[in-house]
Amino acid sequence: MENVFDVLNERGFIAQVSDAEALKERLREPATCYIGFDPTADSLHVGSLLPIMALAHMQRCGHRPIVLVGGGTGMVGDPSGKTEMRQILGADQIEANVAALRGQLSHFLDFSSRALLLNNAEWLLELRYIDFLRDIGKHFSVNRMLAAECYKMRLESGLNFIEFNYMLLQAYDFYRLSTEYDCILQMGGNDQWGNIVAGIELIRRKGGRNAYALTFPLLTTASGAKMGKTAAGAVWLSATRTGPFDFYQYWINTDDRDVVKFLKLYTFLPLDEIGQVASLEGQEMNAAKTILAYEVTRLTHGTEQALAAYEAASSVFGRRDLPRTLLTSSQIPREAKEEAEAVPTTHMERARLDEGIPAFVLFAETGLCESRGAARRLVQQGGAYVNEERVKTFDALIGVEYLTGEGILLKAGKKKIHRIVVGP
C-alpha cells in the first residue's frame, strides 16, 4: 500500500512537518494519529474538511485515526488565530455538540473499524491543578510560550490566564494519547504548530518517546477568500445549517484556478485523473466543477443527497455535458437516463396524474412516509417538497403540471428523495 505520507504530500496537505524522513519511515507500518476539533458548535464547516480528509486518508492507508473533541479544552478556548477570547460553553452544550460532530464525521471515518472518537474532558476535568503544574507545567518555558505565534497576536489585545494554559492542556492531550493509545502523530492547521511541537517536547521529556507534528496550509481561495466563507456566511457540513443543494452550489462556484487543488484535497479521485483537469477551459472546466461538487456533496451528505442536488441544479441551470473520459473514477451519472435510474423511482399511469394526487397520499404511496398520517405531519412541518418547492397544504394536488423531462422529484426532509415518472 502507498505510504500515506506520500499521499498527503502529493495532494497538497503538508505545510510543515517536524521530521519528514523519520515520520515517513515510521508510517511504513500501522500507526496512530490524531487531530483535535473544538466542539464550539453542533456542526463543523467547510474549513474543517481538510483535516477530516487527512484523517480519512490515514485510515484508508491502514492507520488508526483518532478524532479528539475538546470537551475539556472547549471550556478554556484556544487563542490561536483569535483577536479576542472565544466564547466558553457549558458542559451540556458541549456534550450535545460532541454527539452531533460524531454523526458528521461518520460520513468520512469508519468508527466501527479502528477509528476512535475521544473527548479530552475524560482526563482534563479530573486534573488536580497543583499536581498538574508540578508534573506538566515544569516542562514549559514561559519565554518560549510567549514567543509562540498562537500567543503573539493576543498579547497586544489582551491574553488572559485561562487562555495561557491552553498550550499546556493541548500538549498534555498529545502526551496522554501517546501513553494510552501509542499515538505518534498530531496533525492540525499551521497555526497549531507551536502547540503541537510543545506536545512533542513533553512526550520526549516525560516519556522518552518520539512523536511527530504535521500541519496543513491555511487555505484561501484564488480570490483571497477564506475557505468556507461566503457573502451569506459560513458553509456548514450540517444539512440543517447549509442544505445539500446550497452546499453543492458552493463547490460548483469554485474559481477555475482552484479546481485541481480542491479535487486533490477534497475528493479521493486518483491523481492521474485529476492531473488531466489542469489543461481544461470553459465548458470542460465547468464539467470538472460539477464532478467536484458531486463528489464532495456525496462524501458529506451521502449519494442520495448528492444526486438530488445534481438533479436540482440541472433542472434550474441546465444539464452539463460530462465526458466519459473526464475523472472516470467518479460515479456521477453521465447521462439523464443513468441519473433517473440512480434515484428511487415509481412508474405511474398518466391518468392518475391527470386527475391529480393529494400530496399526503403520494408521499405515503411512494414510501417517503410510513403512513398518510405521517405524510400530513411532514407537510404541516414544512418538510415536503415537489421539484424543490415546499408543499404548503397536505391535500395539494400533484399532477401533470409538475412533470419535467425527468419526471416529478419528491423530497421528504433533507435526506429522502423519490421520483415519479409516467409509464407502465
pLDDT digits (tens, 9 = 90+) for 11-20: 999 999 999 9
Q: Which three cell numbers stand for residue 368?
A: 417517503
Q: Which three cell numbers stand for residue 236?
A: 456548514
pLDDT of residue 187: 98
pLDDT > 90? residue 68: yes
Percentages helix, strand, coil for the chain, rounded to the nearest 5?
Answer: 50, 15, 35
Angle between the N-to-C axes of helices 193-207 and 149-157, in degrees from 0 to 180, rounded to the nearest 10: 120
CB atoms within 10 A of CB 327: 24
Region 35-45: mean pLDDT is: 90
132 Cα distance to chain centroid: 34
Q: What span, in angstroms and rounded, lies between the C-alpha atoms of 289 and 261?
A: 12
Whose CA is closest to 325, among 262, 273, 289? 273
Averaged confidence pLDDT in the chain: 86
Residue 334 amino acid letter? R
pLDDT category at 159 given cuts 50, 70, 90 is low
Q: What span, in angstroms and rounded, lies between the C-alpha atoms of 153 and 119?
A: 28
pLDDT of residue 80: 53
pLDDT > 80? residue 204: yes
Residue 98 gets which letter from DSSP?
Answer: H
Question: Pairing mode, if any, of strands 416-422 and 357-358?
Answer: unpaired
Q: Which three cell numbers stand for residue 404?
A: 419535467
Q: Look at 223-232, 241-250, 397-406 and tell me which has the smallest mean pLDDT.
A: 223-232
Residue 183 pairs in a beta bridge with: 32
Question: Cα angle vertex 70, ends 68, 74, to 5°?
Answer: 170
pLDDT > 80? residue 423: no
Region 368-392: mean pLDDT is: 90
Whose CA is closest to 193, among 15, 390, 407? 15
CB atoms within 10 A of CB 14: 17
pLDDT exceeding 90 applies to what percent of the chain?
A: 51
Residue 71: partners with Cβ closer than 8 Å, 6 or more residues away:
39, 91, 94, 95, 98, 119, 120, 121, 122, 124, 125
Exposed, middle or buried: residue 63 (CB in 10 Å: 0-12, 13-18, 19+)?
buried
Q: What span, in angstroms and rounded, lies between the C-alpha atoms of 33 and 164?
A: 25
Transcribe 295-324 into DSSP letters. Answer: HHHHHHH-HHHHHHHHHHHHHHH-PPP--T
Residue listed under C-alpha cell 492507520: 63
E strands, 295-414, are: 345-348, 357-358, 384-386, 389-390, 397-398, 408-412
Question: Pairing mode, if any, of strands 408-412 and 384-386?
Answer: antiparallel
Region 412-420: mean pLDDT is: 79
Q: What span, in angstroms and rounded, lies between the C-alpha atoms of 186 and 225?
A: 27
pLDDT category at 88 given cuts 50, 70, 90 is low
Residue listed under C-alpha cell 473527548: 119
Rounded to two decimals, the pTM is: 0.74
pLDDT > 50? residue 213: yes
pLDDT of residue 83: 43
pLDDT of residue 109: 95
pLDDT > 50? residue 85: no
Contact call for residues 402 and 357 (beta carbons, < 8 A): no
Q: What span, in angstroms and rounded, lies between the C-alpha atoms of 418 and 163?
A: 50
Q: What span, in angstroms and rounded, lies between the C-alpha atoms of 5 and 28?
A: 9
